């Protein structure tokens, strides 16, 4: 104890102060905007990419690969269930929706995101080589995939990152059996390997964190931090309205813009008509146009379940 001395304790104190100042991986710097990431379903650039073409459900799996990468980096990602619920709306339905960056940006604003992480499966192809000997025919198939990952700043609409990742994988089969992989599993594995490369690209994560503001991020207990400013921009007078519909954890949109998840309190402008939309996956959305007043304190509708659910 005496040999350690005062200098040893002084060094430990300095080290502790240094560690307390270090930011953990994924945490924004002081004053920086926290990235809230929307991952739309992946697209295929070509619907007919040989018999190894990636089906729609594999595209969805590809989205899950990218989602896992970001979640493991402790980054905030919009829940897939909420994204899929918006995609069912008429405005966003159709296969071309995700190719339309403008629509993807609009959807991001509705869901409170400030950055898009978009993926496109550019190509999936295969090459087969056959050989025979001792009465056994062997076939070696090599599957190749190219996947493009982009980062789009929702506030500015600018592409902050775009990179194509390539990967390949081979598997063998013979007339004696011994299949090492099926066509579908090999296809997904090679696509997955291509996407996983982005986890080692620092430029990708730098682009995600370098957002310019995007849509406001609401808090479930006090509402959107910017809602008061929005409400008072017209005549300076607003009223606090509580949203506690049934079921819980519904999305609230004011004039088409996502403002938070219930339970929620928002400042709404007095004597100004606003369109209120409350929705949740598996339930019919509730919509109403209201003019808030001083007596308007709560909006607590009950959403009906979608038929067949």
Note the pLDDT tens digit of each residue in 53-64: 344 445 557 888
Domain 31-209 is found in CATH 3.40.50.10610: yes
Whether the pLDDT of residue 37 is over 90: the answer is yes
Region(s) of the chain under CATH 2.60.40: 218-299
Which residue in 265, 269, 268, 273 sits closest to 290, CA to CA?
Answer: 273
Predicted confidence at residue 18, as pLDDT, reads 43
Band (pLDDT 50/70/90 cuts) for residue 252 is: confident
Q: Model's pTM, two decimal places?
A: 0.59
Mean pLDDT of 5-30: 49
Which residue in 95, 65, 75 sits closest to 28, CA to CA?
Answer: 75
Question: 67 with 195: CB under 8 angstroms?
Answer: no
Predicted confidence at residue 255, as pLDDT, reads 86
- Top-confidence residue, 309 or 268: 268
**pLDDT per residue as tens digits for the range 209-243:** 887 554 444 443 444 444 444 444 445 688 899 99
Q: Which of 20-29, 39-48, 268-277 has the highest mean pLDDT?
A: 268-277
Question: How is domain 218-299 classified at the CATH fold level?
Answer: Immunoglobulin-like (2.60.40)
Band (pLDDT 50/70/90 cuts) for residue 149 is: very high
Q: Where are the beta strands (DSSP E) in the chain?
A: 36-38, 43-44, 76-77, 115-133, 136-153, 159-174, 218-219, 223-224, 238-243, 251-254, 257-261, 264-269, 274-279, 286-290, 298-299
The DSSP annotation for 144-177 comes to EEEEEEEEEETTT--EEEEEEEEEEEEEEEETTB
Predicted confidence at residue 129, as pLDDT, reads 83
Region(s) of the chain under CATH 3.40.50.10610: 31-209
């Amino acid at each position: 104890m005496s040999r350690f001395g005062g200098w040893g304790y002084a060094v430990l104190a300095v080290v502790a102060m240094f560690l307390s100042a270090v930011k953990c991986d994924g945490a924004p710097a002081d004053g920086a905007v926290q990235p809230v990431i929307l991952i739309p379903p992946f697209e295929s650039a070509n619907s007919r990419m040989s018999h190894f073409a990636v089906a729609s459900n594999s595209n969805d799996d590809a989205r899950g690969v990218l989602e896992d990468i970001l979640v493991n980096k402790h980054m905030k990602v919009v829940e897939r269930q909420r994204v899929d619920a918006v995609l069912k709306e008429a405005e966003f339905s159709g296969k071309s929706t995700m190719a339309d960056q403008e629509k993807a940006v609009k959807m991001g604003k509705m869901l409170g995101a400030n950055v898009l992480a978009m993926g496109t499966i550019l190509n999936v192809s295969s090459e087969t080589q056959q050989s025979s000997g001792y009465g056994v025919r062997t076939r070696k198939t090599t599957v190749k995939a190219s996947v493009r990952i982009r980062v789009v700043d929702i506030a500015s609409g600018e592409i902050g990152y775009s990179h194509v990742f390539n990967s390949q994988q081979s598997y063998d089969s013979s007339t004696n059996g011994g299949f090492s992989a099926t066509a579908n599993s090999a296809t997904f594995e090679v696509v997955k390997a291509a996407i996983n490369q982005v986890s080692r690209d620092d430029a990708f994560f730098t682009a995600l964190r370098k957002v310019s503001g995007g849509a406001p991020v609401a808090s479930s207990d006090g509402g959107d931090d910017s809602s008061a400013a929005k409400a008072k921009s017209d005549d300076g007078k607003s009223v606090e309205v509580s949203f506690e519909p049934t079921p819980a954890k519904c999305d609230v949109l004011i004039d088409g813009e996502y403002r938070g998840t219930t339970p929620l309190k928002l400042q709404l402008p007095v004597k100004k008509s606003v369109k209120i939309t409350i929705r949740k996956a598996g339930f019919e959305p509730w919509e109403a146009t209201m003019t808030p007043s001083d007596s308007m304190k709560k909006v607590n509708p009950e959403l009906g379940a979608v038929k067949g659910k």
